[in-house]
């Protein structure tokens, strides 16, 4: 097996030069290329243990996922692993199973193994050890879920615009009694999505009363089914339900089927988090899609900035509404939208009798983009799933 001296001899440089190139510190491109060519030709693999002793780095990142059985988090973990590997980092993954205690166990183990930095999709509202690690200065980045009182960067999706689009979509389809299934009470993500959905419905005169807000004890299909059961037992059941997690949506579907009800004929169903098979269900499910791959990549780069002592800020990426068939969508709502809306008064451009522009999806000519979209309390320091 080749060693660093063999690489130096093949490249015609010193051992110190090879070491600088492998640590990313060679300013001369020709020298770097010559060394890397020798590394590839000889199949040399640096001794990461020895390097860690010299640099206090192990080349390993930690990722704690709140629930690996959730398809959204499974794809997110894959995105993180692919990006980390492309940057020559290994990834150690722990599954918290939505348990703060289990999360703390994984944090202790990873810190003891001297990982270079830690990514966490926090279980619940955080945990004592998570806060201790942040206070101790361990490079830490939150992913998908912000934690109140924890002053570290968070990489997540912003669903506010997608929920505004959903409100316009439901109003245009005549759905006036929406309900929402949210994450456990007290979680930041669930509260944000509930608040944003309520605000988005208000311009259409649509209310979201407390009896049509259901909180699950966990993010599993059993919780979604229990909440849907309560909705259907109301004197006036909802005509549309937004499930803010894909597993909870599956439980809601189970309850509808058990009662012989059909989507969308009896109840429209929308899922926050899009997974590939939602396009192939009967009917295909309208969903709010988060940029999962982009979130994973951004999280890795944000963490590396913290590890290297560079400025690292929170990242907020937009989610989007994906209309399909589960709200009773007519064919025309599923066609790709034109890049530019028709000009007022032009053929196909909606106008009122006095020439004022109207929005075809808004009640009483209300433009869904006209209400001010209030920034959530956390958006000033952040650029989310359940």
Residues 150-174 have a mean pLDDT of: 96
pLDDT at 46: 63
Mean pLDDT over 246-269 rounds to 96
- Secondary structure of 97-147 in HEC code, one letter for each residue: CCCHHHHHHHHHHHHHCCCCEEEECCCCCCCHHHHHHHHCCCCEEEECCCC
- Checking if the pLDDT of 253 tops 60, the result is yes
Q: Which long-range contacts (CB under 8 A, 24 or more apart) does 228-234 make?
A: 228/181, 228/252, 228/255, 228/256, 229/255, 231/179, 232/256, 232/259, 232/261
Q: How far is CA 269 from CA 134, 228, 277, in A?
A: 39, 11, 15
d(CA 375, CA 382) in angstroms, rounded, equals 11
Average pLDDT over residues 304-320: 95
DSSP one-letter string for 314-379:
-EEEE-EEE--STT---GGGGSPPPSSPPPTTSTT--B-TTS-B--TTSGGG--TTSS--PPPTTG
Positive/negative CA dihedral, 375, 379, 380, 383: negative
Edge-first strand order for the sheet with 178-182 is: 213-215, 178-182, 240-243, 268-272, 286-289, 320-322
Q: What is the per-residue pLDDT for 27?
A: 60
Q: Helix, strand or coil for residue 156?
A: strand
Q: Mean pLDDT lowest for which of 34-48, 193-207, 286-300?
A: 34-48
Tell me if 228 sits within 8 A of 252, measured CB to CB.
Answer: yes
Quote the tokens at residue 56: 């206090």
Please state which of the ranges 178-192, 235-249, 259-273, 279-293 shows the lowest mean pLDDT. 178-192
pTM of the model as a whole: 0.71
How far apart are the C-alpha atoms of 174 and 274, rounded to whole Å? 24
CB-based contact 245:217 (threshold 8 Å):
no
34 contacts: CB under 8 Å, gap ≥ 6: 11, 12, 13
Q: What percent of the chain has pLDDT over 70?
A: 81
Burial class (CB in 10 A: 0-12, 13-18, 19+), 304: buried
Q: Which two tokens stand for residue 316?
A: 């907020």
Average pLDDT of the residues in 53-57: 52
Q: Which of 101, 70, 108 is nearest to 273 (CA)?
A: 70
Structure confidence by residue, pLDDT tens digits, 85-101: 999 999 999 999 888 89
Question: Which has the higher per-residue pLDDT, 151 or 19?
Answer: 151
pLDDT greater than 50 at residue 381 = no
Please determine, for residue 112, whether its predicted confidence score (pLDDT) is greater than 90. no
Mean pLDDT across the chain, nearest whole number? 82
Rg, C-alpha atoms of the chain: 25
Of 203, 269, 281, the C-alpha closest to 242 is: 269
pLDDT at 45: 67
Confidence of residue 28 (pLDDT cuts 50, 70, 90): confident
How far is residue 172's CA from residue 62's CA, in Å, rounded to a whole number? Answer: 45
């Amino acid at each position: 097996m080749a060693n660093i001296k063999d690489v130096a001899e093949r490249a015609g440089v010193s051992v110190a030069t090879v070491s600088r190139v492998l640590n990313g510190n060679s300013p001369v491109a020709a020298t770097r290329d010559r060394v890397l060519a020798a590394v590839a030709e000889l199949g040399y693999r640096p001794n990461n243990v020895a390097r860690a002793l010299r640099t206090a780095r192990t080349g390993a990142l930690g990722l704690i996922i709140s629930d690996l059985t959730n398809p959204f988090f499974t794809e997110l973990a894959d995105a993180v692993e692919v990006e980390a590997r492309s940057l020559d980092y290994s990834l150690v993954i722990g599954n918290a199973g939505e348990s703060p205690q289990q999360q703390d166990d994984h944090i202790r183990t990873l810190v003891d193994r001297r990982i270079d930095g830690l990514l966490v999709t926090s279980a619940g509202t955080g945990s004592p050890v998570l806060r201790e690690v942040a206070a101790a200065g361990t490079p830490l980045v939150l992913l998908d879920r912000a934690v109140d009182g924890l002053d570290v960067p968070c990489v997540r999706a912003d669903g506010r615009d997608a929920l505004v689009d959903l409100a316009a979509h439901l109003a245009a389809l005549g759905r006036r009694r929406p309900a929402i299934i949210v994450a456990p009470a007290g979680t930041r993500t669930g509260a944000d999505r509930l608040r944003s959905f309520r605000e988005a419905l208000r311009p259409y005169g649509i209310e979201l009363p407390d009896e049509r807000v259901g909180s699950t004890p966990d993010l599993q299909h059993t919780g979604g089914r229990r909440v849907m059961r309560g909705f259907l037992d109301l004197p006036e059941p909802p005509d549309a339900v937004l499930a803010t997690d894909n597993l909870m949506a599956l439980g809601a579907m189970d309850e509808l089927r058990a009662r012989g009800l059909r989507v969308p004929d009896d109840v429209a169903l929308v899922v926050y988090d899009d997974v590939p098979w939602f396009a192939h269900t009967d009917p295909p499910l309208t969903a709010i899609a988060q940029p999962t791959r982009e979130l994973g990549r951004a999280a890795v780069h944000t963490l590396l900035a913290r590890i290297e002592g560079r400025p690292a800020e929170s990242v907020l990426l937009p989610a989007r509404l994906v209309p399909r068939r589960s709200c009773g969508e007519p064919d025309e709502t599923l066609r790709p939208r034109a890049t530019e809306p028709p000009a007022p008064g032009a053929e196909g451009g909606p106008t009122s009798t006095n020439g004022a522009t109207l929005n075809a999806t808004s009640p009483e000519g209300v433009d869904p983009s006209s209400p001010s979209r209030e920034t959530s309390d956390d958006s000033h320091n952040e650029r989310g799933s359940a």
